[in-house]
A = this chain, B = another copy of it.
Amino acid sequence: MANKSPQVQSISDAFRVNPDGFDLAKVDPDATPVGPRSKTEAAADMVKIGAELDALQEALYAEGTGGGQRRVLLVLQGMDTSGKGGTIRHVAGLVNPQGLRIASFKKPTRAELRHDFLWRIRRQVPHPGYIGVFDRSHYEDVLVARVDNLVPSTEWRRRYRQINAFEAELAGQGVTVVKCFLHISPERQRERLIARLEDPLKRWKYNPGDLEVRSKFSRYQLAYQDALVKCSTPDAPWFVVPSDRKWYRNWVVASVLLETLRDLTPRYPEPTYDPQVELARLREADPLR
């Protein structure tokens, strides 16, 4: 990656945005700078990642039942066909669905537009113990809102600070925010749009407006560049995930999520009762024996 630190200490470090001098145009969407060299290698790695993620997620959930406030919010952003849905299937699909809360943010409804842009987002913040996944997010309000001039520039310019304040507030509540930009090339997008149109089982994923959005590809890249630089904070870092190869994209997001949960080291709560007393009740005083 153009922006990697000289000494990579973790997989996440290789993809974390360092706002100083970051240039999205220099990041290759087809790069595979660390990790598996092939789809086969990645698949084997995903099995191990899945087992560890699953165990950590259960501990996080258990911690939440004991009064812990911590939780994780994975934000996914990217152009059409970059693979937000595929990432949810293959990465979020690695853990127990009971501990997941997935929220998709589409074009705001009229009811949603009557509120501040963060209103609908706040309602979907995961509860303690959960891993929340946002399929698109409040970042749309500095992306499509900017590219399509849905609000005056004074308005969207103000939102970067509002987003940073909101994410800092989340951090204060125990929410670890991890944001992944699924970075795809216009060439790969073209291939995937054609594939959607050619396969009758994929046509529902396409709509003619996708080509309008595609025609603004470079303006979106500039909007992403600003969002990535202005909203990469220690509380809520952005990761740029090379997404031209689906297997690599899934491996990177899974690895970043795994390292996030490892850093949290969720803890099973201490029982608030005496297990030996309860065992004795069941073994010696069980009315149903």
Interface residues of A (CB under 8 A from B): 62, 65-66, 85, 88-89, 92-93, 96-98, 100, 102, 104, 135, 186, 190, 193-194, 197-198, 200-201, 203-208, 211, 214-215, 217, 268-269, 271-273, 275, 278-279, 281-283, 286-289
A206 CA / B62 CA spacing, docked (Å) = 11
Q: Is the CB of A204 within 8 A of B66?
A: yes
Q: Is the CB of A268 within 8 A of B211?
A: no
A275 CA / B203 CA spacing, docked (Å) = 8
Given A190-B286, A275-B197, A287-B215, are A135 and B98 also a contact pair (CB < 8 Å)?
yes
Given A200-B268, A201-B268, are A288 and B97 also a contact pair (CB < 8 Å)?
no
Interface pairs (25), CB distance under 8 Å: A62-B201, A66-B204, A88-B98, A92-B97, A92-B98, A93-B96, A97-B102, A98-B104, A186-B288, A190-B288, A194-B279, A194-B282, A197-B278, A197-B279, A201-B268, A206-B271, A206-B278, A207-B272, A211-B278, A211-B286, A214-B286, A214-B288, A215-B287, A215-B288, A217-B288
